[in-house]
Amino acid sequence: MAFVSRPTASLSYTLQDASGSKSQININIPGGTLINVAFAAADALRPLIAALTDCAVIAQNITYSQADDAPAAAVAGSRVEEKGTFVWRTANARTTQITIPAIKDSLLLQSGAVDRDNLAVAAFVAGVTGADTIFAGADGSDIRSLAAAYQRFRSSTKNQLPRDR
């Protein structure tokens, strides 16, 4: 059970035509490429692509991936639609939200709130808000404290419905 890097990272450009339709260009780079080298390569390629297309290049994304080569089995009866929702305060006085799929029932109070006194929950909160961690809000602001934590159910997508229904 180890996370193994894929042999390549992917670079995708999003292009948009005059009608608003979008399409993508996907190309790969060796997985060991440093991110600043990848950005430089993407910057070098973009104008060369722009010279060939009538579309406008509106975005790009570089992704590095890993996969577990022997994942454990999920707990019987677990459902990703049952979520633990954690709302955090950030350094710039805003909030950000992180959800934990298939939150363990043992971590919940009768009301549906997350038990903040639970050791695993406390360790999670400390791991996110600690001074030496790098987790941030979507705008890059440091996560400082937990504002709320509770159970929440999301509706199932078609693909999440039972296959033997």
Can you tell me the distance from the alpha carbon of 118 to that of 65, in angstroms, rounded to the nearest whole number?
Answer: 32
Does 92 sit near another protein (CB under 8 A)?
no
Using the rule CB under 8 A, which residue among 87, 104, 129, 151 binds another protein?
104
Say if residues 116 and 125 touch (Cβ distance below 8 Å): yes
Can you tell me the distance from the alpha carbon of 89 to that of 130, in angstroms, rounded to the nearest whole number?
Answer: 13
Using the rule CB under 8 A, which residue among 60, 87, 150, 151 binds another protein?
60
Tell me how many residues contact another protein (CB under 8 A): 91
Does 87 sit near another protein (CB under 8 A)?
no
Shortest approach of another protein to residue 97 CB, angstroms?
10
Using the rule CB under 8 A, which residue among 93, 110, 117, 134 binds another protein?
134
DSSP 94: -
Q: Which residues ranging from 141 to 160 are in contact with another protein (CB under 8 A)?
A: 156, 159-160
DSSP 127: H
In this structure, which amino acid lies at residue 23?
Answer: S
Does 16 sit near another protein (CB under 8 A)?
yes
Can you tell me the distance from the alpha carbon of 31 to that of 63, in angstroms, rounded to the nearest whole number?
Answer: 10
Shortest approach of another protein to residue 155 CB, angstroms?
12
